[in-house]
Structure 1
Amino acid sequence: MYQVNTMAIKSYPIEWNKIFGNNNKLIVEVGFGGGEFLVNLAKENNNYNYVGIETSLTSCHKIKKKIFQDNLNNVQIILEDAKFALREFFSDNSINKVIVNFPCPWPKSKHAKNRLFDEKFIDTLSSVLEVDGELILTTDIFWYASAVKEKFLNNRCFEVKNISEINQLPFKTRYEKKWENEGRKKYLLIAQKRCKKSIKRLLEGDFELPHEKIKKVNFDKLQSLAGFKKSNKNKTIVIKDTYTKLDGSEYLVKVFSEDEGYIQSYFINVIKMKEGWLVKLDDIAKAYRTPAVKEAVNTIAKELEN
């Protein structure tokens, strides 16, 4: 309740009008933290639907308690990386506003790759925001706001307003209170969409469970798969280990894979059937059916049959 199990969705992007049961416009907050801002916004403006995206289990637990206490039916949350979630779970021109309050600036140059606002993320915003839709960024760091503004200008799909100093947000967040106590200034940046760029989604289309059938298994090869690595273009597959059922009727292969920077860990089953063997993504595997996951199934099948 209140949290969308995105791995159980049968088709992507998600049809949010069916999740909420109405056609109200969508507002998304990236990194909602304690949930104070998103919950208060949803209480004050119930003619919108709200989606919060977070990577912290603790934050998700906290906001669900707040949503329940306020009996809100216009808020859903996602536990996922924001770059991946915005690109994969929202269709073109579907979001009215994306709000980002006090993101980590990752100030050291060696950590710059961790910053939220990179070229691909802004391309995603140009796609999923509706025309005239807005990205609203609040930060306590002026150089960070300036760097983000420059990236939006370089994208050429946004009209970017001048960075302004603000007293406070409509609803105070935990971080805003902390910065106020430290005497820090707060800055607001708004980028408004004017056109869109085409983006490539990894999950677009219907749900499909990747699998391969093979006639026989090379058991020596199976035992030596640990450490196997394959990389090509934007995909990487690494096999970490293999596990065997006592009666030899089933094997588990632990895999790490990467699609354009998005990393997943999961198991692939190798199961004895009446005729031959079935290689498939484990039924309880917490993994999206990305190109790298599908290629991992196909690669393992080929390696075991050779």
Structure 2
Amino acid sequence: MTNIRDILVLPEKTGLPLDLRRGVDGCRVYFEIGFGNGEYLVHLAGKDPSSRFWGIEMSRSCVLRALRRAARAGVENVALMCGDARFILRECVEPCSVDGIYMNFPCPWPKKRHSKKRLSGDGFPSEIARALKAGAFFELMTDEEWFALEVRKAFESEGSFSAAEWVENPPRRVTTKYERKWTEMGKSLFLVRLVRSEGADDAPLRPREVEEVHIRVPGRGALAPLLQGLYGSGGRDGASVWVFKKCYSSDDGREHLLEVVATDEGFEQKFFLLAVERDDDALVKVAPHSSRREGSGGGGGFRHRVSPPGERLQSVSRGAGEAGKKEVRPTSGIVMGALFNILGDLRDRSFLDLFSGTGRVAARALDLGASPVYAVESIRARSDRIRAMRDWGPSFNLVAMDARRALSMFTRRGARFDVVFADPPYGAGWPAELPGLLFPEGGGVLKEGGVAVIEHSVREEVLCGSACVLLDSRSYGDTALSFLGHAAAGEVRERGDDGE
């Protein structure tokens, strides 16, 4: 079996631009964007062992399933990355270095308000053109004819592409889950292949290097109390939002790492600011690595010196900062938006919403195609409001009981879910208890390859037992999202960006 640690690529720990050929000169390089379970990508890799196949996927649970599939298949020419393809192609891939890019059944985003998310918008055709060699191809498979036509028009309008193929219901050696589903339903499928023009500029320019910039901050005195006091504060500039998090200090107290969470143009990232104390000033810059270093002496390591301050802090919202709230949390819209961006495609995936509250998370999952969706809420007034808030349809089920009883009932009935989301009350010990309820010995409600997400305060710790593994953890102000999976499926622990 292939070592799955050789398959997963972390761009922040890899030299850029990426070595797409992985040491094999002259081989061909292909990408699949949005590889889902990885069946199509692994099939391609197995049929062409002399080429290199890269997959990009937003969903961490999909990456985990594809890792296991590739390892079982024993393919050694596959590499997987978790992230936004627009960003990875632009920042990590050398121009004119890819022989072909596949996309199978991406979400067409049919609603007008989501049009900017489509492949035809937001500069995506230009990013594809930048990565492809002259004569290389971009291939799209979809079940929506209007979407295929729109994408073809957008790529042709970009100026670097010409249409090479348009095929309805093409025969294919391997099919994806959605392809089989649409075929069984009698839907027509459409293949669009576009070729990058030979006359397009194909000079292999490498990504430009950015000069390191230091900011000099005059003054004397210890920086640690100041940096520690920034915890939870932040700001915004247009579409950019940032929040300061934990501070780590070296043993000699002269160097400090301040964790920052930022979103910019839809991209989320975590990084550290490095502050170095001098006699009359301090130098501040972006730290060269995304993870803090551990050490035990000589000032070579950084240790977390303080817990977050208990005083009320200003939270960051989509509009303006709102001071004066008793509980420090980002707006629910920010957290919910991040949750569903990370989960990725939910079409026909079963979804369980524990501690449903207002029902907004369950409603969003249903709108994104999850089926069936179960909402569990024990408080009668809340469950009545959920029931009355909309026409839910046949795929929705409301369970009016407490979470422990509901999980016991689902387990007895053999009900299992692809995604389990829990947003329990803060400060009641649920983050420590829920992993045991969700991952009991001998079963539980989460499917193999599924993901459980617990929303909790950053001051609370999720305690994973032997049956589960922490796949990832994200924080937004005072709120954290912890992603858990089965331990048997978690040979690779997806690294949280804070390096902990």
- Under TM normalisation by the shorter chain, which class is it? 0.7 to 0.9
Output the amino acid matched with 1:176.
Answer: E
Question: Is 1:238 aligned to 2:242, yes or no?
Answer: yes
2:159 to 156, 159, 170: 156
**Aligned counterparts of 2:213 and 2:241: Cα–Cα separation in 1:** 15
Task: Indicate the residue corresponding to 2:270 in structure 1.
Answer: 265
Task: Indicate the residue corresponding to 1:16 in structure 2.
Answer: 20
Cα deviation for residue 29 of structure 1 reads 0.4
Percent same amino acid at aligned positions?
25
Task: Indicate the residue corresponding to 2:7 in structure 1.
Answer: 2
Question: Is 1:190 aligned to 2:197, yes or no?
Answer: no
Task: Indicate the residue corresponding to 1:87 in structure 2.
Answer: 90
The 10-residue stretch of structure 1 (221-230 or 96-105) with the greater mean CA deviation from structure 2: 221-230
Aligned residues: 280
Output the amino acid matched with 1:185.
Answer: S
Matches within 5 A, 1:8-157: 8-10=13-15, 12-17=16-21, 19-118=22-121, 120-157=123-160
Cα deviation for residue 9 of structure 1 reads 2.3
Q: Deviations over 1:51-90 (max 9, x none)?
A: 1111111111112222222221211111110111112222
The 10-residue stretch of structure 1 (177-186 or 97-106) with the greater mean CA deviation from structure 2: 177-186
Does the aligned pair in 2 maintain the 1:228–1:239 contact within 8 Å?
Answer: yes
Output the amino acid matched with 1:9.
Answer: T
Cα deviation for residue 216 of structure 1 reads 2.5
Cα deviation for residue 274 of structure 1 reads 5.9
Question: Is 1:229 aligned to 2:244, yes or no?
Answer: no
Of structures 1 and 2, the larger Rg is shown by: 2
Does the aligned pair in 1 maintain the 2:119–2:125 contact within 8 Å?
Answer: no
Output the amino acid matched with 2:97.
Answer: S
Hey, which of these two has a bigger chunk of helix by percent?
1
Structure 2 length normalisation: TM-score? 0.49
Question: Is 1:277 aligned to 2:282, yes or no?
Answer: yes
**Aligned counterparts of 1:29 and 1:268: Cα–Cα separation in 2:** 34
**Aligned counterparts of 2:290 and 2:115: Cα–Cα separation in 1:** 31
Task: Indicate the residue corresponding to 1:179 in structure 2.
Answer: 182
**Aligned counterparts of 1:27 and 1:98: Cα–Cα separation in 2:** 6
Unaligned runs of 5+ in 2: 1-5, 293-500
Output the amino acid matched with 1:101.
Answer: N
Q: Deviations over 1:1-40 (max 9, x none)?
A: 1111100123x322323x2433201011001100000101
**Aligned counterparts of 2:257 and 2:85: Cα–Cα separation in 1:** 30
Structure 1 length normalisation: TM-score? 0.77
Cα deviation for residue 212 of structure 1 reads 3.7
Unaligned runs of 5+ in 1: 288-306
**Aligned counterparts of 1:244 and 1:61: Cα–Cα separation in 2:** 31
Cα deviation for residue 132 of structure 1 reads 1.2
Answer 1 or 2: higher relative contact order, Cα 8 Å, separation at least 6.
1
